Amino acid sequence: MKTMFAIFFSLILFVSCKEQNQEQTIEKESVVIEKISEKSITDIKEGLTSKGYKIFDYVDEKTKDTILMQQYFIAFLKRGTNRSQNKAESDSLQNLHLAHLGKMYELGYADISGPFGDDGDIRGITIYNVPTIEMADSLANADPMVKAGRLTIEIHPWWAAKGFPLR
């Protein structure tokens, strides 16, 4: 009976220690989340402007939240004049094009890219998260499809709320 009691007591002690560790882990994670969200709008604005980004903010009348707007650049990828490549060449260019767009995303220069669903002259877009139109233009024109003439680039400044997700 004493052995059974000792095993039962040890089990309770083990479970309570495990629950306490989980609670401490949850508390630590929430402190980290709070510290991240404590970054003030002023800190974010200073960080962006020091890197050359154009920004402005306004107060949302409904929520009373300060909304920070940042200038991005949309590159419209348009049908180019040189579309004479054979299938193997165009397939190779497509792979290089996708690798270029992936690299832009990985390096943090592009936030989103994708083709349009029709067969129009505008083939797709890339939204560049860079401080100047010159930088966006340079990155977009480094695309192998653009260099080969299959696509051309048309870039426009575009404003969006900083940190708002797509839905």
CATH value at residue 117:
3.30.70.1060
**What string of DSSP letters covers 92-118?**
HHHHHHHHHHHHHHHTTSEEEEEE-SS
Asked if residue 105 and residue 32 are part of one domain, the reply reads no
pLDDT at residue 23, rounded to an integer: 52
CA dihedral 53, 59, 63, 66 (to 10 degrees): 40
Residues 24-68 pLDDT 10s: 545 545 444 444 455 788 899 999 999 999 999 999 999 998 899
pTM of the entire predicted model: 0.73
pLDDT at residue 15, rounded to an integer: 47
Asked if residue 83 and residue 23 are part of one domain, the reply reads no
Asked if residue 80 and residue 21 are part of one domain, the reply reads no
Q: Can you point out the beta strands (E) in 5-65? A: 55-59
pLDDT at residue 142, rounded to an integer: 97
Mean per-residue pLDDT of the chain: 84
Asked if residue 83 and residue 157 are part of one domain, the reply reads yes
Asked if residue 79 and residue 149 are part of one domain, the reply reads yes
- 60 part of a folded domain: no
pLDDT at residue 93, rounded to an integer: 95
pLDDT at residue 16, rounded to an integer: 52
Asked if residue 82 and residue 25 are part of one domain, the reply reads no
- 54 part of a folded domain: no
SS3 content of the chain, % helix, strand, coil (to 5): 45, 25, 25
Asked if residue 123 and residue 77 are part of one domain, the reply reads yes
Rounded-to-integer distance, Cα 115 and Cα 101, Å: 12
- 141 part of a folded domain: yes
How distant, in Å, are the alpha carbons of 18, 22, 24, 25 from that of 13? 9, 14, 16, 18
Asked if residue 142 and residue 76 are part of one domain, the reply reads yes
- 52 part of a folded domain: no
Asked if residue 95 and residue 23 are part of one domain, the reply reads no
- Tell me the pLDDT of the chain (167 aa) as tens digits: 455 444 544 445 444 555 555 555 455 454 444 444 557 888 999 999 999 999 999 999 999 988 999 999 999 999 999 989 999 999 999 999 999 999 999 999 999 999 999 989 999 999 999 999 999 999 999 999 999 999 999 999 999 999 888 78
pLDDT at residue 22, rounded to an integer: 53
- 18 part of a folded domain: yes
For residue 133, give the nearest of 45, 74, 77 by alpha carbon: 74
- Number of folded domains that form the chain: 2
pLDDT at residue 27, rounded to an integer: 56
Asked if residue 75 and residue 27 are part of one domain, the reply reads no
Asked if residue 155 and residue 76 are part of one domain, the reply reads yes
Q: Residue 127 belongs to what domain range? A: 69-161
